[in-house]
Structure 1
Amino acid sequence: MGTCGSCSSNGIPKGCKNNGACGTGSCNTKLSVFDWLSGINPPTSKIHNQYIEVRFKNDRKDFYIVNPDHPLTIGDIVAVEASGGHDIGIVSLTGELVKIQMKKKKVKLEELNKVYRKASQKDIDVWTNYRDKENNVMLEARKIARRLNLEMKICDVEYQGDGSKVTLYYTAEGRIDFRQLIKDYAVAFRTKIDMRQIGYRQESAKVGGIGSCGRELCCSTWLTDFRSVNTAAARYQQLSINPQKLAGQCGKLKCCLNFELDTYVDALVDFPSSQTILETEKGRAFCIKVDVFRHQMWFTYANNSISWYPIDVDELKKLIALNAKGIPTKPLDELKEKNNLKVDLIEENNLNRFEKKHRSTNKKRNKNTKPQQPKNPKKIESKQNSKSRRIKKD
């Protein structure tokens, strides 16, 4: 794994001038971590912490115990304890921030494995050799599963650092019978087989891609935890429940629906309930739309739902107070006339704003342009005579 030596600070440790705290080891690494506590020394006598975070194949991370006498920095390739052998990973986080992450993820100290040593060149060569085989193994595993008519999809393959085990990640709707499949995999790959089922969100995180926003998928770049997303998030944001627009590449609701949900919930606290019914002089009116950005609620009559009328939230609260006293409000038509007194300078609500501008500019151009002078009739006659002479010669 190369380092970004062009932006290193003093050569050691290498990194983008963050003294090894950027957590990448090379630029544009997926799920990188910035250690914002890298410059803070612990209050204890020990300089180095005894816990580190190690990254495997960019999307799997785990915590390990390290000997304080052998300090490690971010970006170091290490050999760690694994089932039936050792694994190779890259140090992604060190220092006091590791304890905060362990507390956040509720990691038990007695279940942590150890770091053996820094990876030697031989360890790195074996590790890279097995990583180069992963794509071919994934294709072969898909062929075997298809030959057995199993309703599953192999999404990713990961070899252990020493090659003693291979983990196959798959997605499936129901349960899969692995009895014959594991036998065929063991014969084909000649190593220990580990099958792990993942969800469709985890699959899209491993595969990656471009979202509808034009950027890389959040799950494949920086998003590590997948919170549940439901249609209530779309309703709070006044979005139409359209599965084709709300679904991501994984086929589930987009994770970004949760990003601004808290902001919308806080803004809707000042709004009256969408079930509000106004008693007007023309009859009952109910809410049909909520505009969070303009701080308005749209109402329509129960007997005439074609016409919609916007009302500001502050004015709506006054109308609700009048209804609470038993006083009917004025018709929505008159309330709409008051709201229309506001000048729309940019003509945002005018559908024909572009046509008017073009017409006005054309009129101005016609006024400013000078009238064309009539052509000289003598020149026209001379041109016609020259043309006739040419025709006679021919």
Structure 2
Amino acid sequence: MGCGSCSTGGGCAPAGCKSNGSCLTNGCSKLDVYDWLSQMDMPVNYKPFNIVEIKFKGSRKEFFLNNDNLYIENGDLVVVETATGGYDIGHVSLTGELVRMQLTRRRVKEEDVLKKIYRRATPADVDKWKAAKDMEWETMHSARKLALSLNLSMKLSDVDYQADKTKATFYYTAEGRVDFRELIKKMAESFRIRIEMRQIGMRQEASRLGGIGSCGRELCCSTWLTDFKTVSTSAARYQNLSLNTLKLAGQCGKLKCCLNYELDTYMDALKHIPDNVNVLKTKKGDARLQKTDIFKKQMWFSYPGEESWIPVPLERVREIQKLNKEGVFPEDLVIFTDDEEDEIPAKALDYENVVGQDSLTRLDERNRKKNKNRNKNKQSGGQPQQQGARPQNAGPKPPRPESGAAPVKQSGGQQQKPQQQQQRHKGEGSPQQPNGGPQGQPRGEGAQGNGNRNRNRNRNRKRGNGGEGKQGGGEPANQ
């Protein structure tokens, strides 16, 4: 029974929305007024104000008479009278004395309020009202197809069905006047209801549809903004904003309404900024105005051929401007004392130009330095200092049964050439035997014999014998 789309977390009761507003899909609006008199006790002889404010879909609000003195609260669904006959259903948005103030604000007289409230909505009324709201989406798309078939330069943005399904109001936007008489005939034949066409502006269309702005929050026009004031590009100029239409335009295609929010503050601050100070003449040269910091009350100037900008207080700008009118040129823009001359660069610039400092290949240079350091370490430690170390550029490592065996040396103390070393190991195993070769064990002599032969060679080397030791199996048995 409830609408089920309350964004405030209040939920919806069978009789209607009880969350003080936020069901946008079924006729509620977020444009609520805070009732600051609800917690106050009224006098004993107080007679409640008999006019109630009712809100409908798309921020539409109207005033109705409560002649039967029905007990209604904010958020209740009520059945009200319409101007063309029939009835409609809306939410109660305001009751009591605040309605009198709203009438004064909208310039509506009490005697002009003629429509009245029939009753509180029953479950049958709510079901029929929801069935009418479910037809709006399909009706809008069918009406758009009819408008395209007639080549009408208009955009149908929303449809509002009356609760009794006897009337539908179509809202559209167009640049000029549109002759939609033929469209109304076709829509009346297709939908079998009374048709009303209402032209709205781009801002009103955005407020009805809603959305998220560039600030990340919901649109002001769909949440709290009721009156749309004109926004001009001069508001952006006064606030020193770039005149980029893509950044200044909202979802409606017009200039953002929030450009007017801080405009008064900027206008008050600009009263203290001197005018016509684009160039200040000094003996050092002509300084041109680059930017103006309104709230810091500083103006930034730069000399031709220099990249640095010099901040000048407003009092100094007025003084130089007065001197230039008299034909006097000062030495410089800013007057420094002897103690402040050493601090000129720090005071002249509040920022640092970092353009070009970070190179795109800075990570590659670090990797090159690391590789160079690694190569230097390898070259410095290339000579084998231990007996078990492998010589550099010695080719493929020969197979050894034991990992602790030392390389074979010649009588001169030099290392054996790789080719001779490979031939010797090839000769140790018989090519006819399947287990012979570099990795297999020879049948004529096991791995133990090879280990004894290497040990004897190490003993002879320590005693001073540079030749190959023949004791303990210098040559393989099968040779």
Give TM-score, length-normalised by structure 2. 0.66
Equivalent pair of 2:88/2:163 in contact (CA under 8 Å): yes
Match of residue 261 from structure 1: 263
Greater fraction helix: 1
Q: Which of 141, 148, 151 is equivalent to 1:149?
A: 151
Measured against aligned partners, the alpha-carbon deviations of 1:359-394 in whole angstroms (never above 9, x if no partner) come to 9xx9xxx9xxxxx9x899657649x99964289328
Cα distance change on mapping 1:188 and 1:14 into 2, 3 Å: closer
Match of residue 351 from structure 1: 354
Match of residue 369 from structure 1: none
1:182 counterpart letter in structure 2? I
Q: How far, CA to CA, are the matches of 1:107 and 1:118 in structure 2?
A: 25
Match of residue 46 from structure 1: 46
Superposition deviation, residue 324 in structure 1: 6.5
Equivalent pair of 2:278/2:289 in contact (CA under 8 Å): yes
Match of residue 95 from structure 2: 94
Q: How far, CA to CA, are the matches of 2:24 and 2:181 in structure 1?
A: 43
Q: How far, CA to CA, are the matches of 1:311 and 1:165 in structure 2?
A: 67
Match of residue 399 from structure 2: 389
Cα distance change on mapping 1:65 and 1:279 into 2, 3 Å: farther
Measured against aligned partners, the alpha-carbon deviations of 1:183-228 in whole angstroms (never above 9, x if no partner) come to 1111011111100001111112222233222333222233222111
Superposition deviation, residue 145 in structure 1: 0.5
Q: How far, CA to CA, are the matches of 2:110 and 2:246 in structure 1?
A: 45
Structure 2: stretches of 5+ with no match in the other structure:
371-376, 401-436, 441-479
Match of residue 202 from structure 2: 200
SS in structure 1 of the partner of residue 74 of structure 2: coil
Measured against aligned partners, the alpha-carbon deviations of 1:159-193 in whole angstroms (never above 9, x if no partner) come to 11212210000011121112211111110111111
Superposition deviation, residue 333 in structure 1: 7.1
Match of residue 226 from structure 1: 228
Match of residue 105 from structure 1: 106
Match of residue 123 from structure 1: 125
Superposition deviation, residue 131 in structure 1: 0.2
Aligned residues: 373
Q: How far, CA to CA, are the matches of 2:311 and 2:292 in structure 1?
A: 9
Higher relative contact order (CA 8 A, sep 6+): 1
Decide which structure has the larger Cα Rg and report it: 2
Cα distance change on mapping 1:104 and 1:71 into 2, 3 Å: same
Structure 1: stretches of 5+ with no match in the other structure:
367-371
Range that drifts further, 307-316 or 51-60: 307-316
Equivalent pair of 2:22/2:30 in contact (CA under 8 Å): no
Measured against aligned partners, the alpha-carbon deviations of 1:316-369 in whole angstroms (never above 9, x if no partner) come to 34444555776543333767978754397xx7444269959x99xx9xxx9xxx
Superposition deviation, residue 82 in structure 1: 0.7
2:173 counterpart letter in structure 1? T
Measured against aligned partners, the alpha-carbon deviations of 1:283-304 in whole angstroms (never above 9, x if no partner) come to 6656453222432123457x88
Give TM-score, length-normalised by structure 1. 0.78
SS in structure 1 of the partner of residue 171 of structure 2: strand
Superposition deviation, residue 261 in structure 1: 1.4
Equivalent pair of 1:25/1:74 in contact (CA under 8 Å): no
Cα distance change on mapping 1:41 and 1:262 into 2, 3 Å: farther
Q: Mapping of 1:1-394 within 5 angstroms?
A: 1=2, 23-24=20-21, 30-33=29-32, 34-42=34-42, 45-46=45-46, 48-67=48-67, 69-83=69-83, 84-112=85-113, 113-275=115-277, 278-281=280-283, 287-299=289-301, 308-320=309-321, 322=323, 327-332=328-333, 340-342=345-347, 348-351=351-354, 378=386, 381=390, 388-389=398-399, 392-393=438-439
Range that drifts further, 195-204 or 324-333: 324-333
Range that drifts further, 384-393 or 104-113: 384-393
Superposition deviation, residue 23 in structure 1: 2.6
Q: How far, CA to CA, are the matches of 2:294 and 2:102 in structure 1?
A: 36
Cα distance change on mapping 1:157 and 1:306 into 2, 3 Å: same
Greater fraction strand: 1
Cα distance change on mapping 1:56 and 1:122 into 2, 3 Å: same
